[in-house]
Amino acid sequence: QLELEESGGGSVQAGGSLKLSCSASGFSAYSRACLAWFRQAPGKKREGAALIGANGQTVYADSVKGRFTVSRDNAKNILYLQMDSLKPEDTAEYYCALELECAGWPPTEHWEYTYRGRGTQVTVSS
């Protein structure tokens, strides 16, 4: 069974940090997948916060550049998102997504990813 499971969400004050993890199970070609962290706040459009390609290429939303870092551990099938200098506007449901056999730059739209996790809530208070 192919599954993605996020962890690490929670509540933090502005300026704080959180590290999200996304564990993938059942994927034999994880190293050739594109991976992404999307987020969605109530009433707002879903946003690709951080993306990483199979070769390690990264793409960040302008709103998180310089504060968030996406990384992957192909040996453990885990995707990470280190979030520093958090702001109240970072409050959202964060979920990871995966697209297998993905060459080149990672897709930027959520519908381009076949698999997604259930999400983890991040709340940043001022």
| Model confidence pLDDT, tens digit, residues 45-74 | 999 999 999 999 999 999 999 999 999 999
Furthest C-alpha separation in the chain: 42
Q: How far apart are CA 115 and CA 4, in angstroms?
A: 8
| Residue ranges of the chain with per-residue pLDDT less than 50 | none
Residue 34's pLDDT is 98
Residue 103's pLDDT is 87
C-alpha distance from residue 61 to each of 27, 36, 40, 65 (Å):
27, 11, 13, 6
Question: What burial letters (b/e) apply to 50-75, b meaning 16+ CB within 10 Å?
Answer: bbbbbeeeebbbeebeeebebebeee
C-alpha distance from residue 57 to each of 5, 79, 115, 119 (Å):
22, 14, 20, 23
Q: What is the DSSP letter of 126?
A: -
> Under a CB-based contact definition with an 8 Å cutoff, are residues 70 and 81 in contact?
yes
Instruction: Residue 7: count other Cβ atoms within 10 Å of its Cβ.
Output: 13
